[in-house]
């Protein structure tokens, strides 16, 4: 598996607060119910046995834990999920300490830290005006956790592509070209967590300089498997193209249309990404309001495994940041 490279600054807001890093799927944060019996037996074996048997037991346990589950992604209570995630993350890390190269655990841990950091950042956005100091603390913590998730995704990539990030910094094109469809999950979640860290810490010039690396990873996902997570990479690129230095609103709109085409079910976050990333900077009030209304009209119960992501995006749509900056008196012409 693989890793990223660099760019510049124009940017104290290079990527959007919420939409750039929105994990389109919050699955992979685990349900422990299915594996409860297996865990009990395997933990006993791990404790009583030697290193090789212990590693085997952890690998089997990791396979059980890393399977898809919608126990979190289908929930409609972001605060409950946010409070429940940390125990699972520490469980993953304890297992990875024994089986550090387990791909399923590395991916689930990367997803979990990214999702948890996003929920913390979402809380920071919601309390920003009432408690700026607390919001700043939450963003600092979210940034650290995003980077922790990114590092797990990078570890997954570098199992198959040693020193991927170092090589990516030297030569993006040839380095990403060696990746394949098997690398797509790690490419996507490395990029999502990396961008999340940037959105939570947009004054970090080191992260700002990494913008091209993030883009290289996500564009590779589009090249190899644009249907991954029902078009998640295209949704990501809506915000990326809208916010990055030298980005293009037209390209952002193209990715928006493609994300809608690839979606298995309506996702409120897609509409929010275009509203915040393109309509708001363009001062296009009518489109901005229409996109938010469409996001709010999505039925969270239509697709249970998207329920949590849709609820979070709808909460953001109901109180968009800086909506007053969409100037009624001088909107740019609508497309």
**pLDDT (average), residues 232-252:** 92
pLDDT at 106: 95
Band of pLDDT at residue 277, cut at 50, 70 and 90: very high
Q: What is the CATH number of the domain that holds 73?
A: 1.25.40.920
Residue 58 lies inside a defined structural domain of this protein? no
Place of tokens 């190269």: 101
Share of the chain above pLDDT 70, in %: 74
Q: What span, in angstroms and rounded, lies between the C-alpha atoms of 253 and 193?
A: 23
Whole-number Cα distances in Å, 236 to 106, 150, 201, 253: 22, 16, 18, 12
Residue 15 lies inside a defined structural domain of this protein? no
pLDDT higher than 60, residue 4 = no
Residue 26 lies inside a defined structural domain of this protein? no
- Residue 331 DSSP SS3: coil
Q: Tokens in use for 157?
A: 């990539």
Residue 168 lies inside a defined structural domain of this protein? yes
pLDDT at 261: 94
Query: Contact at 8 Å (CB) between 314 and 300?
Result: yes
pLDDT at 70: 67
Which phi and psi angles does 297 have, rounded to 5°? -85, -10
Element (H, E) at 314: helix 307-318
Share of the chain above pLDDT 90, in %: 54
Instruction: Read off the pLDDT of residues 112-157 as tens digits, 9 standing for 90 and up.
Output: 999 999 989 989 988 988 999 999 999 999 999 999 999 999 999 9
Closest of 17, 20, 21, 291 to residue 128, by C-alpha: 17
Would you give the DSSP letter of residue 334? P
Residue 116 lies inside a defined structural domain of this protein? yes
Band of pLDDT at residue 83, cut at 50, 70 and 90: confident
pLDDT higher than 50, residue 92 = yes
Place of tokens 């037209």: 250
Better pLDDT: 68 or 297: 297
The mean-pLDDT minimum among 5-9, 13-17, 81-85, 219-223 falls in: 5-9
Rounded-to-10 torsion of CA 145, 151, 156, 160: 170
Band of pLDDT at residue 304, cut at 50, 70 and 90: confident
Better pLDDT: 330 or 130: 130
pLDDT at 169: 95
Better pLDDT: 215 or 17: 215
Would you give the DSSP letter of residue 76? S
Entry pTM: 0.79
Terminal CA-to-CA distance of the chain, rounded, Å? Answer: 40
Give the residue numbers spanning the domain of 94: 67-325
pLDDT higher than 70, residue 64 = no
Residue 27 lies inside a defined structural domain of this protein? no
332: exposed, middle or buried (Cβ count in 10 Å: 0-12, 13-18, 19+): middle
Pairs from 324-329 (Cβ < 8 Å, separation ≥ 24): 325/280, 326/279, 326/280, 326/283, 326/284, 326/285, 326/288, 327/283, 327/285, 328/285
Q: What span, in angstroms and rounded, lies between the C-alpha atoms of 170 and 177?
A: 14
Residue 45 lies inside a defined structural domain of this protein? no
Average pLDDT of the chain, as a whole number = 80
Residue 83 lies inside a defined structural domain of this protein? yes
Q: How many domains does the chain have?
A: 1
pLDDT at 293: 95
DSSP E strands: which ranges in 163-311?
none
Q: Tokens in use for 14?
A: 């290079």
């Amino acid at each position: 598996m693989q890793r990223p490279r660099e760019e510049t600054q124009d940017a104290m807001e290079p990527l959007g607060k919420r939409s750039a890093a929105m994990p389109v799927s919050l699955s992979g944060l685990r349900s422990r119910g299915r594996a409860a019996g297996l865990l009990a037996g395997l933990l006993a074996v791990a404790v009583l046995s030697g290193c090789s048997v212990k590693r085997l037991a952890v690998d089997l346990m990791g396979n059980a834990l890393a399977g898809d589950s919608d126990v979190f992604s289908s929930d409609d209570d972001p605060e409950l999920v946010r409070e429940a995630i940390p125990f699972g993350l520490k469980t993953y890390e304890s297992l990875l300490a024994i089986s550090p190269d387990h791909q399923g655990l590395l991916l689930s841990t990367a997803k979990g830290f990214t999702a948890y950091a996003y929920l913390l950042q979402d809380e920071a956005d919601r309390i920003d005006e009432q408690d700026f100091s607390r919001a700043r603390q939450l963003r600092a913590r979210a940034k650290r956790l995003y980077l922790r998730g990114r590092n797990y995704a990078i570890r997954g990539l570098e199992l198959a592509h040693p020193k991927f990030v170092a090589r990516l910094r030297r030569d993006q094109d040839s380095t990403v070209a060696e990746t394949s469809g098997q690398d797509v999950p790690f490419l996507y979640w490395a990029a999502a967590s990396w961008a999340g860290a940037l959105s939570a810490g947009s004054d970090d010039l080191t992260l700002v300089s990494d913008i091209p690396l993030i883009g290289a990873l996500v564009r590779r996902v589009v090249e190899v498997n644009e249907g991954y997570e029902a078009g998640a990479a295209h949704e990501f690129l809506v915000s990326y193209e809208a916010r990055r230095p030298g980005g293009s609103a037209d390209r952002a709109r193209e990715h928006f249309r493609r994300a809608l085409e690839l979606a298995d079910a309506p996702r409120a976050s897609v509409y929010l990404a275009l509203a915040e990333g393109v309509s708001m900077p363009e001062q296009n009030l009518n489109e901005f309001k229409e996109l938010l209304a469409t996001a709010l009209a999505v039925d969270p119960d239509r697709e249970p495994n998207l329920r949590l992501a849709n609820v979070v995006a709808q909460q953001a749509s109901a109180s968009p940041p800086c909506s007053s900056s969409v100037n009624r008196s001088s909107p740019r012409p609508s497309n």
